[in-house]
């Protein structure tokens, strides 16, 4: 069992692909789809492993994993070490201890084993480990080291890495950067993230580490990097990752996190069981759906009438109650943690049932997301914290089915080929390709969006095992990116011809558009999923050039140097959006634009103001423009910034000068 913030495989799907609750009441014949090893969707992995020569580089995306080495049974919440060096807590299971033992054993090539029959020296540039707790704090701290359960491991602190012998020191545990320990007044800042302006590894260090890895040494990095690593100060760290074929990026996954929060949040779970009455409120005196009495089919009114803005919202039922002369909202929600006796729980349930005449307890004990009845939803047994009831960790059962589902979800070559065949089916009216079922389409599309909607430069190495299909995956990328990925499979003539013949990219006959992708507006992801995925990636990856003639419009004139004077004075009221002004100037697509400022204050440059349409149901089936178009850049005082934008757009400037 692993406690993490990464992968998750659920048993029941609480809603359909349109994020609507399953209507299971009679006479409906709707049956919820189970999430299985064949249909699971996952976030990007929280652990990545690469190889350099004979050595291994493993990256785990959270510095708190270091605390497991110090206190393997007292790390998950508010742990620490007393003045005797003893762990203050011991209530965590052995799951993560065993996980870390396996990691150490694997990375050391069995030079160390948990039975204490073998020993090793671990080198590190870490002085301190921190234990997770509530609030924007670093938490309790302790000197970096190993608990006696990791017997036989000694620590040597290093400041350089030249001439290290993997036989004498088979493993290094390192950080690439100093920690951010002060978060100031930002309520969303995360302590212990990597301060990428303060690298701990020089370029010479990285050269030495690559040599160490080539000789068979291993490196373990457990660090929270909340940056796309474009800073010059991060270049050494990036070179180390790149040597092992790894990349790090901010996670912009389309996969939802676990539901949590106040009692009025639908579909939530807590550590203990809950009772909740969820429903769709009536509109115009009627439910927003009907159930055909003969077929059992559920029909949603907003879909029948083609009014996507009228899509109903699931709610937790509530009522007003007089408390000391004031009307307060009460929700049909019970957390069993608040009731120590059966009598107390029964009384709370009775109160809800009496408030809503005709309401009954739900009857399907195998499905825990029924609506229009008082539903029991089992607890996760994962402790929650704070007023938002945030789980302290996500628990993942690493069963054989889960492991198979992870590999299948990450089979990029097979998945992109299947989506391509599905799109061919619709583009050729069934003459070519193979149509996917709606379940497979949703699963593959969600999986691939996680892997594609970023700027990671994927590559294929023909001397490595290609279990995840990077050979095919990078070929498709290169066909759209005009072979910009030199480390990937070059676009074959056969695949390129097929893409051109089926109007997915433009060929040489389209002189001014050769090599561009055809966005195929209006774009329905259910018919053209590969085009939609590549259109989404084009916002990050400027190697993919999108035809902008239809939106936002092509620019015929060449660029020219223009000087504009803009007042940056801003004296806004609280919560006001600020002093954003249009310059009246246009940034053309895929062309270099330079803006120079003589202002004494920093400004923000924004290109193309438009909403993000990603995931919006009524747009995703008929996109008439790229879903994300807005780009933002920081421009320092008396400085200049140079950039390219994917589609073009008006340039806006926002400053904040308190005095005129």
Q: Residues 366-405: pLDDT tens digits?
A: 889 999 999 999 998 888 877 777 777 766 667 778 777 7
Which secondary structure element, helix H or strand E, spans residue 499, and what is its range? Answer: helix 493-501
For the stretch 479-519, pLDDT in tens is: 999 999 998 999 999 999 999 999 999 999 998 899 999 99
Q: Are 157 and 125 in contact (CB under 8 A)?
A: yes
Q: How far is CA 406 from the centre of its chain?
A: 15
* Residue 591 in this model has a pLDDT that exceeds 70: yes
H-helix segments, 79-202 = 95-107
Q: How much is the pLDDT for 536?
A: 95
* Distance separating alpha carbons of residues 53 and 260, to the nearest angstrom: 44
pLDDT band at residue 284, thresholds of 50, 70 and 90? confident
Highest-scoring range by mean pLDDT, 495-504, 560-569, 590-599: 495-504
- Among the residue ranges 144-153, 442-451, 506-515, 651-660, the one predicted with the least confidence is 651-660
Residues with Cβ within 8 Å of residue 73, at least 6 apart in sequence: 87, 89, 90, 91, 92, 93, 94, 97
Q: What is the pLDDT of residues 34-92, one digit of tens each?
A: 767 776 766 666 788 888 999 999 999 889 999 999 999 999 888 999 999 999 999 89
* pLDDT tens sequence across 8-19: 333 455 667 677
- The DSSP bridge pattern shows strands 326-331 and 318-323 to be antiparallel
CA pair distance 456, 451, nearest whole angstrom: 9
Q: Are strands 171-174 and 120-124 parallel, antiparallel or unpaired?
A: parallel
As a residue count, the chain comes to: 660
Which pLDDT score is estimated for 341?
Answer: 96
CB of 271 closer than 8 Å to CB of 380: yes
Q: Which residues of 268-302 are buried (b: 16+ CB within 10 A; e: fewer)?
A: bbbbbbbbbbbbbeeeeeebbbebeeeeeebebbb
Reading phi first (left if > 0) and then psi (alpha if -120 to 50, else beta), residue 335 is in beta
pLDDT of residue 89: 94
Highest-pLDDT range among 41-45, 257-261, 405-409: 405-409
Bridge partners of 219, per DSSP, are 57, 172
Write the CB contacts of 465 (distance below 8 Å, at least 6 apart in sequence). none
What is the chain's mean pLDDT, rounded?
A: 86
Phi and psi, residue 475, nearest 5°: -65, -45
Q: d(Cα 394, Cα 270) in Å, to the nearest integer?
A: 12
Q: What percent of the chain has pLDDT over 70?
A: 89
Q: pTM above the 0.75 mark? A: no
d(CA 402, CA 11): 11
Q: How are beta strands 218-222 and 171-174 bridged, if at all?
A: parallel
Bridge partners, residue 59, by sequence: 48, 221
Both tokens of 70, joined, read: 């110090």
Q: Which domains are delineated in the chain?
A: 2-41+257-391 (no CATH), 47-243 (no CATH), 410-537 (no CATH), 579-655 (2.60.120.1250)
* 466 or 543, which is more confident: 543
- Residue 34 to residue 334: CA distance in whole angstroms: 26
List CB contacts of 306: < 8 A, sequence separation 6 or more: none
Kindly write down the DSSP assignment for every residue of 410-477, as one continuous string. Answer: T-HHHHHHHHHHHHHHHHTTTSSS-PPPHHHHHHHHHHHHHHHSS-------TTS--TT-HHHHHHHH
Please enumerate in sequence order all residues whose Cβ is within 8 A of that of 484, keeping only pairs 6 or more positions apart, or say none. 478, 543
- Identify the pLDDT of residue 265: 84
């Amino acid at each position: 069992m692993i406690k993490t913030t990464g992968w998750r495989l659920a048993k029941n799907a609480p809603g359909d692909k349109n994020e609507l609750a399953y209507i299971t009441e009679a006479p409906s014949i709707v049956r919820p789809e189970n999430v299985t090893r064949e249909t699971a969707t996952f976030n990007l992995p929280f652990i990545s492993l690469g190889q350099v020569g004979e050595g291994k580089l493993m990256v785990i995306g959270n510095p708190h994993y270091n605390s497991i080495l110090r206190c393997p049974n007292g790390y998950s919440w508010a742990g620490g070490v007393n003045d005797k060096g003893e762990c203050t807590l011991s209530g965590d299971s052995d799951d993560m201890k065993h996980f870390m033992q396996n990691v150490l054993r694997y990375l050391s090539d069995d030079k160390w084993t948990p039975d204490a029959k073998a020993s090793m020296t671990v080198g590190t540039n870490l002085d301190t480990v921190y234990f997770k707790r509530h609030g924007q704090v670093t938490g309790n701290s302790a000197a970096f080291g190993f608990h006696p359960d990791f017997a036989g491991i000694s620590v040597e602190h290093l400041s350089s890495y030249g001439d290290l012998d993997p036989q004498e020191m088979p493993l290094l545990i390192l950080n690439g950067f100093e920690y951010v320990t002060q978060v100031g007044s930002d309520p969303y800042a995360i302590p212990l993230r990597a301060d990428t302006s303060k690298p701990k590894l020089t370029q010479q260090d990285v050269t030495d580490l690559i040599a160490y890895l080539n000789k068979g040494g291993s490196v373990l990095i457990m660090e929270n990097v909340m940056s796309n690593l474009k800073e010059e100060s991060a270049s050494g760290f990036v070179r180390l990752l790149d040597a092992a074929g790894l990349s790090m990026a901010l996670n912009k996954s389309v996969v939802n996190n676990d539901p949590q929060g106040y009692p009025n949040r639908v579909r939530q779970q807590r550590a203990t069981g809950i009772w909740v009455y969820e429903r769709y409120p009536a509109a115009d005196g009627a439910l927003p759906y009907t159930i055909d009495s003969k077929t059992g089919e559920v029909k949603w009114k907003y879909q029948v009438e083609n009014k996507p803005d009228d899509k109903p919202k699931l709610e937790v039922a509530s009522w007003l109650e007089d408390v000391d002369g004031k009307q307060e909202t009460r929700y049909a929600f019970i957390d069993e943690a608040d009731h120590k006796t059966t009598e107390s729980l029964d009384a709370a349930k009775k109160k809800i049932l009496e408030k809503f005449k005709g309401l009954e307890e739900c009857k399907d004990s195998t499905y825990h997301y029924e609506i229009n009845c008082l539903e029991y939803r089992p607890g996760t047994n994962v402790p929650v914290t704070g007023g938002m009831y945030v789980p302290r960790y996500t628990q993942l059962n690493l069963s054989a089915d889960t492991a198979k589902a992870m590999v299948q979800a990450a089979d990029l070559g097979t998945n992109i080929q299947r989506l391509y065949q599905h799109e061919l089916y619709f583009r050729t009216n069934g003459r070519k390709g193979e149509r996917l079922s709606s379940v497979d389409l949703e699963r593959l599309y969600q999986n691939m969006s996680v892997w594609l909607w970023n700027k990671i430069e994927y590559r294929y190495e023909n001397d490595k095992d290609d279990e995840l299909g990077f050979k095919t995956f990078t070929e498709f990328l290169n066909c759209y990116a005009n072979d910009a990925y030199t480390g990937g499979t070059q676009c074959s003539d056969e695949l390129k011809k097929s893409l051109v013949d089926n109007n997915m990219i433009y060929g040489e006959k389209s002189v001014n558009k050769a090599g561009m992708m055809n966005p195929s507006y209006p774009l329905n992801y259910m018919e053209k999923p590969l085009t939609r995925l590549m259109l989404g990636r084009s916002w990050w990856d400027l190697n993919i050039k999108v035809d902008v003639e239809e939106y936002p419009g092509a620019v015929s004139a060449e660029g020219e140097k223009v000087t504009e004077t803009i007042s940056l004075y801003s004296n806004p009221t609280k919560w006001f959006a600020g002093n954003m002004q249009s310059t009246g100037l246009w940034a053309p697509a895929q062309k270099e634009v330079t803006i120079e400022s003589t202002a004494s204050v920093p400004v923000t440059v924004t290109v193309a103001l438009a909403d993000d349409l990603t995931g919006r149901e009524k747009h995703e089936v008929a996109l008439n423009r790229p879903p994300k178009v807005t780009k933002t850049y920081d421009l320092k005082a008396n400085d200049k910034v140079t950039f390219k934008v994917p589609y073009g757009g008006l340039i806006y400037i926002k400053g904040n000068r308190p005095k005129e």
